[in-house]
Structure 1
């Protein structure tokens, strides 16, 4: 069988494979069908890009978003791979088809809508094919969080070319979704390769929402580098972008309601930037391959743990430290349960299970990473030491009695009032409304005092997560199915003690592993920025920060020494080597 290592070193400049990359590449080169489940940043695209340069014919890559295809096209072209896209926005379609027929392409990127078209199937019959690569393969499964019906139509295309190997790739698939992908794409069970789901460079944090603009502004102030903020509505993205812009950082909004040209420009500006913050709906992110995102913040609850994992996975793809911070409110769970009631009856049980799992991640006082990995079937024996709970010595408090008082107050006031009113009744706050309703005569009036009053808001959130409380259409609280067990003493309620608010701090040197006090590193970044602008590509397409750090540390004096650094292949050495060597010589 072909040895891929020399080509890995020549094309990509990597001394060796990472994780399970070698296992996946070897199966592809042997003509096997494979499903590779690899975390974001583990180098999934290399698993088809490298074989595509070694095998005769063209690798057809099915990818869900045009922006993602164009991003991957830039990266492939930068290392010398012959690649093209065939999308609705491409103006050189005839040229691309001619290159494909002539066998002049290593990679051809297409959307699933095109791949399932009969005319495209006929086109594929006119040239030699080396591989089918199905990216974001969880989209084929109804159990996947980004289900795309067009992915279901790929099987007939694949079966039309039974001798062409198939490689499906995803970062986000639990056991149920993995089994469905294998079935839907005609892949063998023994073709499943899982590299693990852990992203140790990402620090996870989850907090109750309390003035989310200020909370996220604190993150922006502390963490330099590009960031993504996910909001749940279009209006929220624009309000957040405006608020965060007042911190002095460049910001943009991104959502489907924007003019297409503005939306495309905002995305392009973010991809090219080294410090921009983009506030977006969840559709943003799958379409980019930006490795230097230093933080991802959620201004509201994601759809599921799978969605959370994928969205937070857009941080730190370069392996450098990154932050993922989720801000949530009890109303998020109420809205999620309302949405579940609107989906097809056969899907509701699965959606409820997902919401319960997400609630467990949000309310735990233990290691977040252990819960996250366990959801994907990985049991971790030790705490991670890199999440808010592990780092903050968080304590869980048994708040069952307070929860029973809260539920009793909801019941005795008729299950029609909101959290604030119930808090007032429990703490004995007299108001015109409580007098008019006669609620100050209730046995629950004023039964919470002292330190216990600080537990009421987190208890209310915990009861909403557990579905012991729900909100009616008018915002009033009413019992959910879990209330009875708590009132009868058959279930307990524990909460995390709310941490004290920290004062906002400016970003400190060393907040990310960029030696900003090294003038050579900054000069290398400046040269990269100029080259990127001249070439019309994002800076990271030329070299990652890690490569520039190695240059600043090693200070190579020749092309041969520069080629010894990881991440510098032959094509990039020829294109950019002299420019960076000149910067280093200037500092010698």
Structure 2
């Protein structure tokens, strides 16, 4: 095979994918694959896994066969490649015999560079599964092959035959999440035990992590979404019923939402997925089946309505947000009811011990009082020294207090209820409730009845969960989740040991903060250049019947907004713009940028002229500011601009001769300085900024 230089790789990277440099370990991985070596790639969602096999496919003589678990995603992935000028196709059971034949023809004459196929359809490709046609095999979402993984697919188990059938063909296994046991299992199952391993950092710094108690979840979610208008997001739920109920509640609150779960027909699922990818739907309420392999880069948030059963699943699901590297938000609601339900789910599974241990780690993450990212990364064997600064614990560290008396009251109640009652009843006893259960069982006679009526129900729940976490009491899951004492309980009840608890999160405070953000956010979604470019992108995507982010992702739009390119060279320098996208979309986007700039220039001109007219009518600065709803400083800047343009404005009336002299002397010392602050400091902070600005404007005109 011909020797491929680094410049050849970088040239294809820019031309076909629009990027000027490789990320993480992409270049090493690509070179390893081009050397025809088996490869295992563990790279976080959004880290650029796809390029690792898509770029080598442009150099291989034969096709690259990509095994992908979900048929619904294949069209999206093929559309993405075609948008980048790369010939690609997919093969699955939903196609007609004519469509199948077209794929075979493309493989035979080697016009197709990448072919996507589901593992179930491999048997239909038997006559092309040989080294004459196939140069590389990529197994995407490779964790599906392992029973240790979080999303096991039996159909993946058969893939070991590929290495036996095509021993000279390199196999690339790729996934975003796999602990060490899963990594080893993937290599064994694919019969590539000597594959080169590339494990990238799992740290997705742009995703803010937050956990809240599951009180009034739906109200909190509605507030959260309304604070992020027009932003795409996914809400993960444990049950199909919850996805449907939640989607209905959101729609009732004017939020553009749909549900997605395995109970829907293939057509309904495909349509929902397509609507989300094409920005026709903002919010998807889904079971975990949704989102795998979706390359939608502008998902801005992910909410977990229920707690996931393990950290791998949680990590992969939150990784579906912020793939473009811009800020994203992961919000998890935590309740003990979810933990109980998940324990019931795994009670009869084959690897029950492993799953219970994984659930415990997930629970520890949700109940953490230290940096959450440290816990998340350490699970994957990655240690960071500094706190992340981008999780709720770092932003608002919990406050601890001496909760010994609270602990003694709770443990006494558990003791007097003889370890027979679940948390709800224990709290009712502590609060002196008079419901049927309490009265029927005579619990109002217990000595601890009502000793905690000054603490709210939710706060008691918060404190008891902490006592469970610290090992002072436990849930007997096999006895209807009854709360029982442990060997540590006596330390608190009889040995005088102190307990430190955290104060509960103030949900009201969260609500108010969200509402404030919501109000400010709504003002911002106006006629910005980003908004104009977003609308243009949506229109083009509709016309071409592709996902909006396949035109350009949000990160590219943000860069276009900041850089405002006017020539082809400037446009091509933007990250995410390759040669084909420049040719196909460049003209329209540059036209939109020019139109926006011209309109803003015109409106700026109009606004200064309006100030000029009022000034000529004899109104004072304060009166003009008041009439126009602007600040006096803005009016001064208008008059300065008009003065420099030669309009009949007398700035001398706003500054004394003495202050003008002070500014003149300062200018001699500061010379070419244009910022106002150095003048302000040089003049002993005695001359106001507006006076300095007027003085400099007069001196500039005279010069």
Gap change, CA 1:509 and 1:446, over 3 Å in 2? closer
Alignment of 1:115-134 (within 5 A): 115=122, 117=123, 119-125=124-130, 127-134=132-139
Q: 1:114 aligns with which of 113, 121, 124?
A: 121
Contact 1:330 1:464 in 2 (8 A): no
Residue segments in structure 2 that go unaligned for 5+ positions in a row: 599-703
What is aligned with 1:228?
Answer: 234
Choose 383-392 or 449-458, whichever is displaced more.
449-458
Q: Residues of 1 paired with 2:520 and 2:190: CA distance?
A: 46
Q: 1:353 aligns with which of 354, 357, 364?
A: 357
Q: Residues of 1 paired with 2:27 and 2:425: CA distance?
A: 61
Alignment of 1:192-207 (within 5 A): 192-207=197-212
Summarize deviations over 1:398-441 as a string: whole Å, max 9, x none. 65664564344334324444433322322334556545433333
Gap change, CA 1:332 and 1:398, over 3 Å in 2? farther
Structure 2 residue 134 is the aligned partner of structure 1 residue 141? no
What is aligned with 2:12?
Answer: 7
What SS does structure 2 have at the residue aligned with 1:108? strand
Q: Residues of 2 paired with 1:260 and 1:492: CA distance?
A: 58
Q: Residues of 1 paired with 2:552 and 2:69: CA distance?
A: 26
What is aligned with 1:69?
Answer: 74
Structure 2 residue 555 is the aligned partner of structure 1 residue 550? no
What is aligned with 1:331?
Answer: 337
For residue 266 of structure 1, report the CA deviation from its aligned partner. 1.8
What is aligned with 2:584?
Answer: 575
What SS does structure 2 have at the residue aligned with 1:505? helix
Residue segments in structure 1 that go unaligned for 5+ positions in a row: none
For residue 84 of structure 1, report the CA deviation from its aligned partner. 0.5
What is aligned with 2:677?
Answer: none
Structure 2 residue 193 is the aligned partner of structure 1 residue 179? no
Q: Residues of 2 paired with 1:584 and 1:433: CA distance?
A: 68
Choose 203-212 or 332-341, whichever is displaced more.
332-341
Structure 2 residue 83 is the aligned partner of structure 1 residue 78? yes
Write 1 or 2 for the structure with the bigger share of helix: 2
Bigger relative contact order (CA 8 A; separation at least 6): 1
What is aligned with 1:457?
Answer: 461
What CA RMSD, in Å, does the superposition of the two structures yield over aligned residues?
2.6
Choose 246-255 or 223-232, whichever is displaced more.
246-255
Summarize deviations over 1:91-123 as a string: whole Å, max 9, x none. 3111011111221111010112223x3x52332
What SS does structure 1 have at the residue aligned with 2:45? coil
Summarize deviations over 1:226-272 as a string: whole Å, max 9, x none. 11111111111111111112332211111122243333222211111
What is aligned with 1:247?
Answer: 253
How many residues are treated as equivalent by the alignment? 579
Q: Residues of 2 paired with 1:16 and 1:193: CA distance?
A: 18
Which one has a bigger Cα radius of gyration? 2
Structure 2 residue 36 is the aligned partner of structure 1 residue 31? yes
Q: 2:537 aligns with which of 498, 522, 528?
A: 528
What is aligned with 1:52?
Answer: 57
Q: 2:221 aligns with which of 216, 221, 227?
A: 216
For residue 391 of structure 1, report the CA deviation from its aligned partner. 0.7
For residue 471 of structure 1, report the CA deviation from its aligned partner. 5.1
Alignment of 1:297-446 (within 5 A): 297-344=303-350, 347-396=351-400, 399=403, 402-403=406-407, 405-430=409-434, 433-446=437-450
Q: Residues of 2 paired with 1:227 and 1:549: CA distance?
A: 19
What SS does structure 1 have at the residue aligned with 2:48? coil
Summarize deviations over 1:377-407 as a string: whole Å, max 9, x none. 0111111000111111223456566456434
TM-score w.r.t. length of structure 2? 0.77
For residue 511 of structure 1, report the CA deviation from its aligned partner. 5.9
Summarize deviations over 1:290-346 as a string: whole Å, max 9, x none. 1101111011111200000011111111111111101121011111222222112xx
Gap change, CA 1:397 and 1:335, over 3 Å in 2? farther
What SS does structure 2 have at the residue aligned with 1:9? helix
Contact 2:423 2:483 in 1 (8 A): no
Q: 1:100 aligns with which of 82, 88, 107?
A: 107
Choose 576-585 or 191-200, whichever is displaced more.
576-585
Summarize deviations over 1:352-376 as a string: whole Å, max 9, x none. 1101101110111111100000000
Q: Residues of 2 paired with 1:452 and 1:302: CA distance?
A: 28
Gap change, CA 1:358 and 1:494, over 3 Å in 2? farther
Contact 2:566 2:594 in 1 (8 A): yes
What is aligned with 1:489?
Answer: 491
Contact 1:217 1:244 in 2 (8 A): yes
What SS does structure 1 have at the residue aligned with 2:49? coil
For residue 522 of structure 1, report the CA deviation from its aligned partner. 2.5
Choose 260-269 or 195-204, whichever is displaced more.
260-269
Q: Residues of 1 paired with 2:109 and 2:467: CA distance?
A: 64
